[in-house]
Structure 1
Amino acid sequence: MSPLDGKVALVTGGASGIGAAIARRFASGGARVVIADVDPVGETVAREIAGAFVRTDVARLADNIAAVRTATKLFGSLDIAVLNAGIGEQGGFIEDFRPEHYRDLVSVNLDGVVYGLHAALEIFTEQGSGAILATASLAGLSESPMNPLYAATKHAVIGLVRSVAPVVADRGVTVNALCPTFIDTPILGEAIPFISDMGVAVLSPERVAEVAELVLARGGTGQAWPVVPHGEPGPFAFPDIPSIMSDPNRQVPEAAS
């Protein structure tokens, strides 16, 4: 049986790209899906999958709460929250820095996940179960000189996921991150041919949706799952960090007599 069968899922940014692919895959697996997006095209996707659409600006906490409550009102519960809405970086970090776009980037890519987590956890904590997937990026696991601000928001999402997961584990809630490489979505726009010419793979949104379902089936938490063109999908192995404990071999000076 699919881990999606009979579940209710909320997908932010579900009007196109990765979000739409996840919404379609989840619906095909037996889930009832609510698409939360600022783009009214989400209504078309919702009709296609016999789901529901709620206009949602993820940069607003109230909108995230309203989206979650819409899902529970329409379908009686909420089991999965996919916090996927995101925007790409515009302009350079040094020569063409745009403070207003930087604020938009943080508001959607990071605040949207923070607010979505809060909204979903209100329901999941009460019912004692739930799964949260946040769309980060491979740029959140490494350096990204061409998009440093975008990478910063995605590093933050992964840090948030890994830090919140142990806090809510005893409440029956899992929290994981998807970390796709370049995906054929509106965020890349006209850059796709140039990326392909460099020999870098550009994957379909459906590949991310496939990995999203696999993450739910595995049932782990606090993990970041790369979505790349090779190998079997699996959680990223984070390196051990230096110990913060006192050195056990440290010599303690004797007290003066």
Structure 2
Amino acid sequence: MNLLQGRHAVVTGGGRGIGRAIARALAGAGARVTIVGRNQAALDHVVSEGDAHGAAVADVTDPDIVQAAIQTVVSRHGPVDLMIANAGSAVSAPFMKSTPAMFQQMLDVNLLGVTNVTHAVLGSMTERGFGRIIAVASTAGLKGYPYVSAYCAAKHAVVGFVRALAQETATTGVTVNAVCPGFTDTDLVAESVQRITAKTGRSREQALNEFVKHNPQQRLISPSEVAEAVLWLCSEGARSVTGQAIVVAGGEI
């Protein structure tokens, strides 16, 4: 399938989980894919297995490092047509134990990690009259969950940013959207399940139920399902779709 033939895609957080699934889907559709992350070995492994064509090490919370990384990948593979801002992280604590530093950490990674990469590519996209900016947010950007107030606040901010920027870019040929997965079958969820079992003594099945109970389909989302939504938003057929938060969550929202 050559749906995205000739397009250069950059996927942040592309070394594992949802990011890797997105990279694989875009590469399979003909795009030239560069993945960005902090772990060189993980990135190199993804490239060696054919799920991406190149990689760059960068911390998305640092705007100067992001700008330098984008300049490097553009020199190698050409201007960025598709920017998938997937990098993110989550911390869990009751609000009264959630420190200002924790809130700042969540905003730095989940919000500024999106705005920094957007700053680095939007000018070129606008000049060329084409671009797709897609932030991987979360259902936590559309509703509240207990014990993750800092994460929810940051992901709500991402959705707000997407909606605002879409209005600014509506006549430029650039679309700006968010994809909002529910709890997804990734290493992050697996690690959370392990923490629950270790702290509470619950079985793995009981711990996993804390995540799947939110989904009316009673299951975790597959990373490939999120990737398919991103692939569609990158396509020509989605050129009128902008400022949206596409939910992939089995009917939870």
Please report the TM-score for the alignment, with normalisation by the length of structure 1.
Answer: 0.83
Kept after mapping to 2: 8 A contact 1:8/1:75: yes
Cα drift, residue 66 of structure 1: 2.1
User: Which residue does 1:88 correspond to in 2?
Assistant: 90
User: Which residue does 1:68 correspond to in 2?
Assistant: 70
User: Which residue does 1:145 correspond to in 2?
Assistant: 146
Q: Sequence identity, in percent?
A: 39
| Closer, same or farther: CA 170–109 of 1 in aligned 2, 3 Å | same
Cα drift, residue 6 of structure 1: 2.2
In the aligned structure 2, how far is the partner of 1:45 from the partner of 1:132?
22
In the aligned structure 2, how far is the partner of 1:64 from the partner of 1:142?
30
Cα drift, residue 144 of structure 1: 1.5
Instruction: Describe the SS at the equivalent of 1:4.
Output: coil
| Closer, same or farther: CA 222–2 of 1 in aligned 2, 3 Å | farther
Cα drift, residue 12 of structure 1: 0.4
Moved more, 98-107 or 186-195: 186-195
In the aligned structure 2, how far is the partner of 1:83 from the partner of 1:35?
10
Q: Is 1:223 equivalent to 2:224 in the alignment?
A: no
Cα drift, residue 101 of structure 1: 2.9
1:59 to 61, 69, 72: 61
Q: Report Cα offsets for 1:66-125 as digits up to 9, x if no partner.
A: 23222321112211000010001133221x323333222111101111111111102212
Instruction: Describe the SS at the equivalent of 1:169.
Output: coil
User: Which residue does 2:102 correspond to in 1?
Assistant: 101
In the aligned structure 2, how far is the partner of 1:76 from the partner of 1:116?
16
Q: What is the total number of aligned residue pairs between the two structures?
A: 231
User: Which residue does 1:156 correspond to in 2?
Assistant: 157
| Aligned partner letter, 1:125 | T
| Closer, same or farther: CA 145–230 of 1 in aligned 2, 3 Å | closer
Which one has a bigger Cα radius of gyration? 1
Instruction: Describe the SS at the equivalent of 2:171.
Output: helix
In the aligned structure 1, how far is the partner of 2:104 from the partner of 2:3?
37
User: Which residue does 1:18 correspond to in 2?
Assistant: 18
User: Which residue does 1:202 correspond to in 2?
Assistant: 220
In the aligned structure 2, how far is the partner of 1:79 from the partner of 1:47?
23
In the aligned structure 2, how far is the partner of 1:187 from the partner of 1:105?
15
In the aligned structure 1, how far is the partner of 2:192 from the partner of 2:156?
22
User: Which residue does 2:200 correspond to in 1?
Assistant: none
| Aligned partner letter, 1:26 | L
Unpaired segments ≥5 residues, structure 2: 194-203
Cα drift, residue 227 of structure 1: 0.6
Kept after mapping to 2: 8 A contact 1:90/1:101: no
| Aligned partner letter, 2:177 | N
Moved more, 195-204 or 73-82: 195-204
Q: Which has the higher helix share?
A: 2
RMSD: 1.9
Please report the TM-score for the alignment, with normalisation by the length of structure 2.
Answer: 0.85
Cα drift, residue 230 of structure 1: 5.4
Unpaired segments ≥5 residues, structure 1: 237-257
